Amino acid sequence: RAIVRELGRIKERHEKELHLMEAIPPQETDPTDFKRRFLKKIRKLGEGNFGTVELCLYDPKGDQTGELVAVKSLKTENESSNLRREISTIRNLYHENIVKYKGICNDEGGTNIRLIMEYLPSGSLKEYLPRNKSNIDKKRLLHYALQICQGMEYLGSENYIHRDLAARNILVENESLVKIGDFGLTKSIKDDEEYYKVTEEQDSPVYWYAPECLINRKFYKASDVWSFGVTLHEIMTYCDRDNSPPQVFLQTIGRSQGQMTMARLVDALEKGWRMPRPDSCPEMVYSQMLRCWSHAPENRVDFKGLIKEFEYLLT
């Protein structure tokens, strides 16, 4: 009898709950689900190895009151698994110095996917720095460096390796705030692994890569530190084209064909060659680059250490 009574009570409660659920209006829309038909292209923002990024107006009301968003799609459909991986990475990242994920847009067929992010009107450091050189002093450049390190420290604490840190992938929110973007090559490392071994052949940004990446195709958190050093070099030259990492290398080692360039780059790095100090770069800052460029990953400074240095240099 007690059991029957108990069952009756459960049934009653269940019916009440069902009733309550009906009373709550269903969630009208998923804010991360962007409908293709409301996405209006304004212009192309940029293009990298794999993707194209466009400025779009998302205007569901159709009265031009919508919001501006940056939309990344792929040049070729067969890269779609890469974009899916990028999306699954970026949607879990929450940091001041990391570009904000807004949602996705699925094509009608569902084969193509687009990544919707916040739009940063000033573009990447590569476009921004040469254009605004006269208004940006050295101190400001060091602030950018510090912010990149803070974003990278967070990324590492979430066990990700970026693998494509370069000025072209740092976006400018305003004159005093930059954010890391482009997680297209970012890999997750499991807690018990120290590094990620790349298996696929890809068009890799070799001039930003540490020796272990070029030789063994191994990427550690410390490999991101090396790339940061190269990015810092770019920043200190205001992303001057004539002083870009590929230019500096080719001026020193000379131009050659395909595979040979890679072999010569590796050879030079192993012999201890490093990019020289840019003319206008203070010794104190160049010495940070050199700390990022220790041959052995374990001898390099880490992002925590760099944050301390930049904070010290900025006081």
Question: Which residues of this chain interact with ligand ADP, rule CB under 6 A?
Answer: 45-51, 53, 70, 72, 99, 117-120, 123-124, 127, 168-169, 171, 181-182, 184
In terms of CB distance, is 59 or 118 closer to ligand ADP?
A: 118
237 binds, among Mg ion, ligand ADP, none (CB under 5 to 8 A by kind): none
Within 8 A by CB and 6+ apart from 86, the residues are 72, 115, 183, 184, 186
Binding mask 125-164 toward Mg ion (x if CB under 5 A, else -) reads ----------------------------------------
- Closest separation between CB of residue 161 and ligand ADP, Å? 16
Parallel/antiparallel/unpaired status of strands 160-161 and 113-118: unpaired
Give the H or E element holding residue 109: none
Within 8 A by CB and 6+ apart from 37, the residues are none
- For the CA atoms of the chain, what is the radius of gyration? 24
Token couple for 121: 């009107």
In terms of CB distance, is 167 or 301 closer to Mg ion?
A: 167
Reading phi first (left if > 0) and then psi (alpha if -120 to 50, else beta), residue 177 is in beta
**b vs e for 116-142, b when ≥16 Cβ sit within 10 Å of the residue's Cβ?**
bbbbbebebbbbbbeeeeeebeeeebb
- SS3 call for 102: strand
- Closest separation between CB of residue 291 and Mg ion, Å? 26
The residue assigned the tokens 């810092």 is 232
Binding mask 23-62 toward Mg ion (x if CB under 5 A, else -) reads -------------------------x--------------
In the chain the first and final C-alpha atoms are separated, in Å, by 77
- Closest separation between CB of residue 74 and ligand ADP, Å? 8
In terms of CB distance, is 245 or 297 closer to Mg ion?
A: 245
288-294, long-range: CB < 8 A, 24+ apart? 288/229, 288/232, 289/229, 289/232, 289/233, 290/229, 291/229, 292/225, 292/226, 292/228, 292/229, 292/230, 292/232, 293/226, 293/229
Of all residues in the shown chain, the one whose CB is closest to Mg ion is 48
In terms of CB distance, is 51 or 229 closer to Mg ion?
A: 51
Q: How far apart are alpha carbons 230 and 286 in whole angstroms?
A: 11
Out of 54, 182, 212, 224, name the contact with Mg ion by CB under 5 A.
182
46 binds, among ligand ADP, Mg ion, none (CB under 5 to 8 A by kind): ligand ADP
Reading phi first (left if > 0) and then psi (alpha if -120 to 50, else beta), residue 100 is in beta
Among the options 164, 182, 224, 240, which is catalytic?
164
- Residue 227 sits in the site that holds Mg ion (CB under 5 A): no
In terms of CB distance, is 125 or 225 closer to Mg ion?
A: 125
119 binds, among Mg ion, ligand ADP, none (CB under 5 to 8 A by kind): ligand ADP
- Closest separation between CB of residue 263 and ligand ADP, Å? 26
Token couple for 199: 């298996």
Within 8 A by CB and 6+ apart from 5, the residues are none
In terms of CB distance, is 48 or 156 closer to Mg ion?
A: 48
Of all residues in the shown chain, the one whose CB is closest to ligand ADP is 48
Examine the residue annotation and report whether 164 is marked as an active-site residue of this protein: yes
162 binds, among Mg ion, ligand ADP, none (CB under 5 to 8 A by kind): none
245 binds, among ligand ADP, Mg ion, none (CB under 5 to 8 A by kind): none
Interaction site with Mg ion (CB under 5 A) = 48, 169, 182
Return the active site residues. 164
